[in-house]
Amino acid sequence: MALYSDKVMDHFRNPRNVGVLEDANGIGEVGNPVCGDIMKMYLKINDDEIIEDVKFETFGCGSAIASSSMATELIKGKSVEEALSLTNKAVAEALDGLPAHKMHCSVLAEEAIKSAIDDYNKRKNGEK
């Protein structure tokens, strides 16, 4: 069996939602100190707490790029609450699996979304 699924390869070669969202109201950045990879997530959340748009920038390995791409697809159009419940396992499953030693790459995607929502909540509560 190939190490990486077709879906991983597809999202790595043609990542969805790459870039910067100028009017984002929730931005999160996380990194993995071991491998040094960095992921930045931009969310545009409307008054009904629906994620209208999402973009990401990932400086990292192929699995991290595929995971961020898939994660953005999974949360686009969803509520903040639904996005918060997205686990790295669900991201990996949606990619038809990741090799065991690459599971930590999908953790970055989960953490980046949580960090961006945290930023959104802080702005909303006037803490920023």
**Greatest pairwise CA separation for the chain in angstroms:** 51
Contact with ligand FES (CB under 6 A): which of 12, 30, 54, 63?
63
Residue span binding ligand FES (CB under 6 A) among the ranges 42-50, 55-63, 70-78, 79-87: 55-63
Contact with ligand FES (CB under 6 A): which of 105, 109, 112, 113?
105
- The contacts of residue 39 (CB under 8 Å, 6+ apart) are 29, 30, 31, 56, 57, 58, 59, 60, 64, 68, 108, 109, 111, 112
Output the smallest distance, CB 104 to ligand FES, in A. Answer: 6
Which is the catalytic residue, given 54, 105, 108, 109? 105
Q: Which of 123, 119, 125, 112 is nearest to 29 (CA)?
A: 112
**Whether 105 is catalytic:** yes
Q: Indicate whether 30 belongs to the interface with ligand FES (CB under 6 A).
A: no
Q: What is the H or E stretch that residue 73 is in?
A: helix 62-75
**Whether 35 is catalytic:** yes
Q: Indicate whether 32 belongs to the interface with ligand FES (CB under 6 A).
A: yes
| Residue given tokens 């931005």 in the structure block | 27
- Contact residues for ligand FES (CB under 6 A)? 32, 35, 37, 60-61, 63-64, 105, 108
